[in-house]
Structures are given as C-alpha cells and as structure tokens.
A and B are shown apart, each in its own frame.
Chain A
Amino acid sequence: MSKIAEGLLYSESHEWVKVDGNVAIIGVSDFAQSEMGDITYVDMPDVDDEVTAGDDFGALESVKTSSELIAPVSGKVIARNDELENKPELINEDAYEAWIIKVEMSDTAELDALLNAAAYAKIAE
C-alpha cells in the first residue's frame, strides 16, 4: 500500500499538487516513486518555462525505464528543486517532501479536475 498524503490534490498520472495561494507546488506520489524503483535522474523544465495541463513537462528516469511527468495545471515555472539535480533519490526517500517544480497558475479552475486524497487512493492501490 503506497502512502497518500492528506491535504494534497492528485492527478490520474500520479502527480500531487499543494496549493499555496496562486502557486501550485508539484511532485509525484509515493505510488509513482515505488513503481519507478531507484530514480536516477529527474528531467525538469527551467524557471520561466511555460507548462500546459495535460502535456508533459519532464520525466523521471530509472536504470531501465523512464516515465513522463504530466503537468496537472498550466502556468509559468517560478521555481525548480535544484537539489534533485544531484540527488534524484530524494524522491524515493520522501515523495511528498521532494517537490519538483512550483508553478504560478494561469487558471486555478483547472484544480477542480484533480482528485482529492480519497479519490486518488482508489487508483493508487
């Protein structure tokens, strides 16, 4: 059973969102990191890049696989977790601590399409 943090919103592609005013802090769920196995690299966008809900904004890489990161909301990247550059394993250690990007949302209504913890629990078995 993977861990699911309360108070966060989730996408069906296993990203989590923590809403902080107009900013969406985005990471991947515990289910995602355990499916990937040891993460060897996180391909992240740059600060000031635009992301679009539903499109990929990067990828997680392990030794034998890669998995696209799908943006749960649209907006501009205002911060990027540079610690992940040299220590991608932070996501394996604590998927909810290790945020990936922070996005200034262009349309907060997009949050309504995301799942709450209970609904996500049903798909992250």
Chain B
Amino acid sequence: MGAFSYFPQTEEDIRVMLERIGVSSLDDLYADVPADFIYKGEYDLPSAMSEQQVRDFFEGLAAKNTKLKVFVGQGAYDHYVPSVIPYITSRSEFLTAYTPYQCEISQGTLRYIFEWQSMICRLTGLDCANASMYDGPTAAAEAVRMCVASTKKRNSVIVSARLLPHVIKTIQTYAKYAGINVVVTDKVAEEVAEGVLDLAGVIVPSINRFGIIESHLGLADLVHQMGALLVEYCDPSALAVVKTPAEWGADIAVGDGQSLGIPLCYGGPYVGFMACTSALMRKLPGRIVGQTVDASGKRCFVLTLQAREQHIRREKATSNICSNESLMALWCTVYLSLMGPQGMRQLNELCYEGSHYLHDALLATGQFERVFDGEFLKEFCLKPLCDVQKLQQALLDAGYFAALQTEDGYVTFCVTEKHSREELDRIVEIVKSVK
C-alpha cells in the first residue's frame, strides 16, 4: 500500500527524523518492548478502503435499517431539528477543539457553555448548572451520589418506580458499587414519611414513564424535614410549560437534553444536565464555567471551581467525569436560542394537541382501555385490548414505530410537533384494522 492521506510523512521525512533521533528504523523505537509482545503478521481487519468504498459500505449498512416514523418516546424524543444547528456544531473550531483548558484561545467553547449553564438554570429555575454530563440516566446516578455526599452519615436514597426503567437501572448500577442503599418504590411520599431510613435523597420524575405530569405538592417540605435532598428528573423541553424543579422546591434537577432538538441517533450522543441550589454549588460534579476578567478588564470566561474535579482532587473528587458532552450542549444552546420562549411554548402546545387528539381517537376505536387520569403532554400509555404483536406489526408494515409495550403491559405512544394530522389519522385507521 502506498501513501495514506492521514500520514503526511514521506520516506524522506521519515529518514530525516530517524537520523535526528539516532536510530535506523521505526522498529528501533520499540526496542524496549519485550519481543514477544510485538504483534507479528497481519491484523484481522479488512483491507484499507478508499473513501468511496467506505461510503458504499455504510450505505449498504444503512439500507439494512428500516425507515420508520417514530411515535415512541421513553427517554428519546423525535422533535424537530432546526436546519441551522448542524452548521454551527460542525464548524471545526467547535468540533475539533479540546477541553477549554487554555482559555485565551477557547473563549468560543467557554462562552457557549456559560450560555448553556444559564439556560439550564432558567429552564429548571435553579441557581447553578454544570457544563454537562453523559446523559440523563448518568446525571441521575451522579445526583444520587451528590445527595449522599452532601448529607452526613446518610446512605439511603428513595427512587420513584415511575422513573424510566433505564434511568432506574443506571442509578442502581452506580449505587451498587458505591454501597448506597437504593429503595425503589411507587409510594414515595409514604416511604419518606416512614422515617426509618438514613435518608440522603429522594428522586422523582417531573413527567413519569407513563407520560403523566406528576404533582409533588408537599413533597419537598417532607423530604427536607427528614434532612434529605429532593432531586427531580425532568424533560427540559417540557419544562417550558410544566412546573419547574425550583417551583416544587427541589434541590437538584437532572435530565437529558436530547429532547432539545438532538437527533435520535440510536441512543447517543445525547447530553445530561445537572442544576442545583447555590448551597450545593461546590458539590456539583463535572466541569463548570465561570465569568471573570483578564488583566486589562475584558470580560472573559474560564473553567472554574476545578478543585472539585478528578485532575486535582483525584480520589476525593466529586466525580471521575472528564470529557462530557460539550458539543451536544452547544447543540441545545443553539436550539434554545432559535426557539426562544415563544417557540418552546408553541412546540408544547402542538405536542399537547397532537397527543390528546391521538389518545382520544385511539380510545374511540375500542381497541384500548384508558389507564391514567392525569394530565399528559406528548407521551401517553393505554391498556391494549387487541393483540399487541399484531398491532405493532401492522404499524411497522405501514412504516410506524408506535405502541411500544412497557414492562407493565401497556402500550405507549408519543406525538411531537414533527407529526401531522394525516399521520395520526393513518395510525388510527391501522389500529381499527387489527383483529
């Protein structure tokens, strides 16, 4: 094989460099490696492809995916993606930059993170936010750790059973190895009131996995009386219209920014967010950007409160997190800048309209039974009276991913502002046809 476009070194260049170093071949640079560790022979990889071959290869794989219209949520929402966003996020000064440790040449990154932090605070109503986490579920797990770290000698956390299953699983995973006692329950307030646990924190959903908007009247007071912290897991898109964590009296808010215009992308990359009251600021994990001035008085931004982080505090750090989801935070920041308060409001109205239209029309087919009475925004669950397998297949055949079966045996639907009346009517027609 000849020259490779990612390796600029010519034969001559290599010769010059070897000479400066004082060795005669590239292999000499590995003379200190035990000989039997040096891999002999060919790696079991395909032969190097050309760009066009790579394109063809992935087009081939892409063709093996079925193109479907998505009418399911459960933690990944098919919202409209404004055309502007990918043009901003693919700018190479953003895309190919590293963590902004050298702030004098990273003001771009630092400023958008500051804007992201500010917007997360406005959405949640809380005082401070970090630069992002991996995703909503890991942010929830870190919030649980933060509760234990912030309350002395307490090691138990109550987790609402109505959080999404993958959120609960992630919390349980982190808690298991940290030795944190997790109690998953449907009756959160009752469990708190029992007062038997060494309670550090309680985590509840803003909108639960059935799509119902929960009321947490009195919960924050109860939790605080027990000396514990309240965490709320939220959909940031919905926070434009539903009561905020701050309004409920929560201490910490977490969730996933995927619903802020990030493509579904088979589950990632998404972006977790975490916000808290000012009293908990120094317990926040992850990177934080702060405002300051330079020597000539110019406003500028830097990574701050770094003494909490792994590269300084090592095993006593608030978390081990290093790389987070910075570019996705930019994605969301641009999204929120474009949407503004009007857009976020209108979007939620459209979701509400659409989901209620579909919900009522589906009930009218007689193929489902109503389960919940509470208010919902875009997602809802119904109890199927028809054959679920046949229903799902009929929908798939028509190009719709809908009626996902939940672990309780319900089927779930989600309608967003991307969808049209025609599509909703078509779904209803298909449902009617299932025997």
Contacts and interface: CB of A to CB of B under 8 A. Distances in A.
Judge A-B direct contact (beta carbons within 8 Å).
Answer: yes
Interface of A: 40-41, 43, 46, 49, 59, 61-66, 68
A49 B305 CA distance: 25
Contacts of A64: 306, 312
A66 B312 contact: yes
Nearest to A61: B307
Nearest to B317: A66
20 contacts: A40-B307, A41-B282, A41-B305, A41-B307, A43-B282, A46-B152, A49-B152, A59-B307, A59-B316, A61-B307, A63-B306, A63-B307, A64-B306, A64-B312, A65-B307, A65-B312, A66-B312, A66-B313, A66-B316, A68-B316
Contacts, number: 22
Contacts of A40: 307
Contacts of A46: 152
A61 B307 CA distance: 6
Contact of A62 (B152, B307, B316): B307
Q: How large is the interface on B (under 10, 10 to 19, 20 to 34, 35 or more residues)?
A: under 10
Nearest to A46: B152
A55 to B, nearest CB: 13
A41 to B, nearest CB: 7
Interface of B: 152, 282, 305-307, 312-313, 316
Nearest to A56: B316
Nearest to A67: B307
B146 to A, nearest CB: 15
Contacts of A68: 316
Contacts of A61: 307
Given A41-B305, A43-B282, A66-B312, 4 more contacts: A59-B307, A63-B306, A64-B312, A66-B307
Contacts of B313: 66
B305 to A, nearest CB: 8
Contacts of A43: 282
A1 B278 CA distance: 39
The list of the 3 closest CB pairs from A to B, nearest first, reads: A61-B307, A66-B307, A66-B313
A40 B290 CA distance: 14
A103 to B, nearest CB: 17
A63 B152 CA distance: 26
A63 B316 CA distance: 16
A16 B281 CA distance: 29
A66 to B, nearest CB: 4
Contacts of B316: 59, 66, 68
